[in-house]
Structure formats: C-alpha cells, structure tokens
Amino acid sequence: MPTPSALPPFQALIDAHWRDVARLARALAGPVDGDDVAQRAWEKALNAYPGLTSAKNLRSWLLTITARCATDLHRSRRPQSPLDDDLPLTVDGPDVTDWPDPDLWRAVGELPERQRVAVTLKYVADLDHKAVAAVLDTTPAASRRLVSDALATLRKELDS
C-alpha cells in the first residue's frame, strides 16, 4: 500500500482536476451556487487529503466529494419531512434559463435526487457506472438503473 508521501502535492491535484470539479458543481447546483459547492468540495478534499493512503482514483474521489457537497446544499434548502424523500427538487433548483437547452436542464432538475445525481455524474462528469455507484453508495447495476430511469423520464418529459 502506498504511503501518503506517494500522493501528489495538493496543488497538482487542483491543477489537474479543477475544471472537472467546477463543471460538476455547476451542473448539480447551478451557476449561482456551483462556485460555492466547488469551494466547499476543495475544502473538504484538503482536510481529508493527509489521511489518504493511495493516489489511485483521485478524480473519482474529488467528484464524489463534489456531488455530496451539492447534495448537502440541496438538502439544507428543502423542507424536512419524511414524506418528501422522493419529491422532485423544483423550488430551490438551479436557475437554468441562461444555460444551453434550458428545457433539458429544467427537466433534469425535476428528477428525483438520486436519478438527477446519477445522470449528471454519468454525462457531465463522464464517470462510469462503477464510479457513479461509489458516489451514490450503491451497486453498478443500481447505478445503471438510476441512469436508465432518469433517461426514460427525460425522454418522456421532453417529447411531450
């Protein structure tokens, strides 16, 4: 097992992956909150970095942190009720009017949270299903199902 000294300097990690983190943060939290989510992800990564024992899959590790920071932001803004776990996020979702294809992004924002995160990780962050599953703490088969269900919903929504 590599020692922590085998890790690249944190600045090298930033230089290599800042665009990926920023892009995913904006896709999940919107242009207004995306920068804050990315900043929070980098803070969490910096705090956890000394404890890492392997330089393997650092990009996936960073994108997992970013997705969780975006999820935390959304959860902090929605009313807390045991009945609304699967309700679509529409009240405080990103303002997508200035994005390319705002209808698509509006529909993505209305997906249930796990489907929204799964499809965004798959197509914005370009993660494979194994990495998406790791972020969502599920299996690759469940990741495929979440993405498939999200795409079916989006097709139905956008075709109508």
pLDDT tens digit at each of 160 positions of the chain: 445 558 899 999 999 999 999 999 998 888 889 999 999 999 999 999 999 988 888 998 999 999 999 888 877 776 555 544 554 444 344 554 555 677 887 888 888 988 998 998 898 888 889 988 988 889 999 999 999 999 999 999 888 7
Give the tokens for residue 56: 């393997």
Count structural domains, the chain. 1
In this structure, what CATH number is given to the domain that contains residue 71? 1.20.140.160
Task: Kindly report the pTM of this predicted structure.
Answer: 0.68
pLDDT at res. 90: 41
For residue 31, how far is the Cα from the chain centroid? 14
Burial (CB count within 10 angstroms: exposed 0-12, middle 13-18, buried 19+), residue 79: exposed
Domain hosting residue 43, numbered range: 4-159
Distance CA 37, CA 51 (A): 22
Please tell me what DSSP assigns to residue 8: P
pLDDT at 40: 96
Residue 80's alpha-carbon distances to 83, 84, 90, 152, in angstroms, are: 9, 8, 15, 28
Residues 6+ apart with CB under 8 A from 131: 57, 60, 63, 64, 121
